[in-house]
């Protein structure tokens, strides 16, 4: 069960609406059947109901959070509760709302680019928007926004731009770059225009990122490789003599965070949303943060069922690739659903991303990551 003493982060899809229709977006899967978002009044009640576990940070996603006319008031409500706020955005509307959001107390933005070059960006995100988004990002440092992060979802279509993103981040005065994996759902499943990297391709991409980071002088500690299992990070640290955090990509559900969808329903993470777990047969209905305090939700039977999928340590004896691994249950925290339904030699760190397969492919390639 989630330890309320450790829970500090809430990831909230504050709206289902968006002004983009990106080819790889999983959010269309989460919001496909939803007709409306919470009202401002309902959001404000929900924010108050976060109080008891001592939530320190709310990270707003979407849809496009800036598409909400009242997003400034949403941030103000968090600030009044002593909660720090961050927004992940496509960046197109930043010029219209950035200053007001910073004044309301927002600590930072994550801007989804997905292409360091205009052609790649346009293929994935559509339209002639690249220059506007880049111009908007440049304004963040002028407004003294504390956290200015670029977010890139890795796929075959933009793998060649992964290292180029580091140089762009340096030129834009970004404070960090987050590399995510592609969830094959929503638009990615329907459009067929976004292709996941093969497990064995990830390490080569990670190496190119670290090499470019060292080449251009961008801080290594400012990159986050969400798809890198601990053993792969260990390899990168050894090969390049750097100090990347070993716990880059790992299940945080039950560790320090929860997810709230645009209807205000709370789940251990986005991956156990009903739309995202159809293939496993495991479903949670979600409990409303408007009607319940987060304190009560964390202790509900609904949440307990997620963490009672069986003794998750027992299957590790059958996982040849994980047997005896010092990272397992320390800085490699497996997804309970993936762990309970494991079919391969390595445990998966997430039900929607092949962290275990990446680790397995890396081991089979002969990398020195023992």
SS3 assignment, position 42 = helix
Instruction: Quote the tokens at residue 252.
Output: 């945080």
Mean pLDDT of the chain: 84
Domains, the chain, in order of start with CATH, read 9-276 (3.20.20.70)
pTM for this one? Answer: 0.91
**DSSP code per residue over 200-253:** HHHHHHHHHHHHHHHHHT--GGGEEETT--HHHHHHHHHHHT----S-SS---B
**Comparing 313 with 86, which gets the higher pLDDT?**
86
Please say if the pLDDT value at position 320 is more than 80.
no
Model confidence pLDDT, tens digit, residues 235-264: 999 999 999 988 765 566 656 788 999 999
- Residue 278 — pLDDT band, cuts 50, 70, 90? very low
Cα 18 to Cα 28: distance, rounded to the nearest angstrom: 10
Instruction: Quote the tokens at residue 131.
Output: 């220059």
pLDDT value for 40: 98
DSSP one-letter code for 198 = P
Model confidence pLDDT, tens digit, residues 45-80: 999 999 876 799 999 999 999 999 999 999 999 999
């Amino acid at each position: 069960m989630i330890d309320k003493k450790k829970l500090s982060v809430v990831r909230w899809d504050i709206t289902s609406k968006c002004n983009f229709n990106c080819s790889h977006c999983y959010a269309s899967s989460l919001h496909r059947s939803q007709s409306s978002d919470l009202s401002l009044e309902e959001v404000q009640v929900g924010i108050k109901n976060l109080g008891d576990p001592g939530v320190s940070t709310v990270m707003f996603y979407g849809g496009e959070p800036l598409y909400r006319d009242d997003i400034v008031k949403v941030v103000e409500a968090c600030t009044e509760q002593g909660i720090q706020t961050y927004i992940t955005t496509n960046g197109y509307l930043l010029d219209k709302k950035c200053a007001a959001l910073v004044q309301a107390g927002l600590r930072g933005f994550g801007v989804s680019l997905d292409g360091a070059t205009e052609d790649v960006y346009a293929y994935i995100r559509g339209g002639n928007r690249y220059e506007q988004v880049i111009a908007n990002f440049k304004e963040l440092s002028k407004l003294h926004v504390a956290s200015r992060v670029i977010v890139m979802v890795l796929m075959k279509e933009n793998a060649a731009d992964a290292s180029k993103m580091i140089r762009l981040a340096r030129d834009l005065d970004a404070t960090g770059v987050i590399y995510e994996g592609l969830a094959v759902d929503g638009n990615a499943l329907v459009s067929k225009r976004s292709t996941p990297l093969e497990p064995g391709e990830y390490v080569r991409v990670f190496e190119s990122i670290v090499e470019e980071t060292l080449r251009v002088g961008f801080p290594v500690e400012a990159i986050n490789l969400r798809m890198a299992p601990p053993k792969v990070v260990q390899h990168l640290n050894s090969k390049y003599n750097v100090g990347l955090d070993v716990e880059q990509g790992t299940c945080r559900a039950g560790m320090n965070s929860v997810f709230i969808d645009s209807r205000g329903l709370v789940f251990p993470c986005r991956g156990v949303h009903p739309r995202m777990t159809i293939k496993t047969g495991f479903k949670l209905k979600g409990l409303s943060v408007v009607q319940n305090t987060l304190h009560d939700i964390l202790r509900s039977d609904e949440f307990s069922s997620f963490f009672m999928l069986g003794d998750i340590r027992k299957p590790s004896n059958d996982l040849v690739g994980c047997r005896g691994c010092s990272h397992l249950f320390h800085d490699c925290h497996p997804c309970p659903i993936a762990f309970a339904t494991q079919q391969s030699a390595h445990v998966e760190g997430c039900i929607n991303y092949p962290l275990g397969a990446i680790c397995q492919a890396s081991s089979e390639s002969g990398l020195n990551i023992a």
